[in-house]
Amino acid sequence: MKAIFFSIIICCAFAINSIAQTSTTLPVLTIEGNLKCSSCAIKKTQGAKAQCSIHGHQLSFVTQKVSDSNGKEFEQYKEQVFTILLNDSSKDLVDEKNLSKKITIKGKIYDSDNMIEVETFNSTNL
């Protein structure tokens, strides 16, 4: 009985360690694209009753190009819609003043939640 309990504890420890390593080993990528208001987009294309002028925009990030530090591009991320993880590094990015700008982010992509964690970003007018 003790051996089974000990085996379960060891397996749990390995699983927790594996999860912790996965979250810390994500590569920092160069992510190019632009912000869009998802509410305005579905109002325009599908007639949703969005009221951004009253409640504010719901911003998301549409990728155009994603590459690693060696320049390798990741086609699976092209034209994908992501949410920006809100933190000190992204607070100035997630602003409607950036809706008409090209954005380049250095950050990590969390596939399971379609989120981008911003380390740094810069923007240029389109």
The SS3 call for residue 46 is helix
Ordered per-residue pLDDT tens for the chain, 126 residues = 555 544 445 444 444 444 544 556 899 999 999 999 999 999 999 999 999 999 999 999 999 999 999 999 999 999 999 999 999 999 999 998 999 899 999 999 999 999 999 999 999 987
Could you please state the CATH topology (level 3) that the domain comprising 27-125 is classified under: OB fold (Dihydrolipoamide Acetyltransferase, E2P) (2.40.50)
- DSSP, collapsed to helix, strand or coil, labels residue 99 as coil
Hey, what's the torsion of the CAs at 34, 90, 30, 39, to 10 degrees? -30
